[in-house]
Amino acid sequence: MSNKILVALDGSDGSKRALSAAVAHAKLTNSDLVLAYVIDWSPYSFHTPQELEERHKRRESEIQRANDSILTPEKENLKSEGINVETVVHHGRIAETLLELCDQHGASQIYTGRQGESRVHAMIFGSVSAALVQTSSVPVTVVP
């Protein structure tokens, strides 16, 4: 079994608490961390060519913002603590993409916050943490 833990980050307080719990677990088990930021994105939208161009520009800026403001600072901090860290940013349906990333990176566990940035979306469509718990093939730790 892999010694990698996937941590879902979105900049919320809940994801920061999930990261802290995952770091404690990683230190105890000598595990590596994969910090994942997924930008909610549906490929099933119809757009004009101009809208598609704008959407692509927005997509690139969202990736840059996620790396610059969330993933890179956390990675540098954790590397200074001696923890091996990978980072990844993807677009897609959040829970499905996190599960795909878990498989791709060979993670044996997922850590996520109970409530993230998109609270209204979660109330309407269901939460990412609930979807992960119901569909994951590896243990999911949901941190309050």
3-state secondary structure of 37: strand
User: What is the strand order of the sheet 109-113 is part of?
Assistant: 85-92, 32-40, 4-8, 109-113, 140-143
pLDDT for the residue 111: 97
Dump pLDDT digits (tens) for 67-120. Answer: 898 999 999 999 998 999 999 999 888 999 999 999 999 999 999 998 755 554
Q: Which of 65, 115, 111, 58 is nearest to 89 (CA)?
A: 65
100 near 8, Cβ under 8 Å?
Answer: no
* Amino acid making up residue 105: H
- Helix (H, G, I), strand (E, B), or coil: what is residue 107? coil
Q: For 92, list phi and psi in degrees, rounded to 5.
A: 155, -175
- Closest by CA to 107, choosing from 73, 141, 79, is 141
Give the residue extent of every domain in the chain: 4-143
pTM, entire model: 0.84
* Banded model confidence at residue 37, pLDDT cuts 50, 70, 90: very high
Query: CATH number of the domain at 4-143, please?
Result: 3.40.50.620
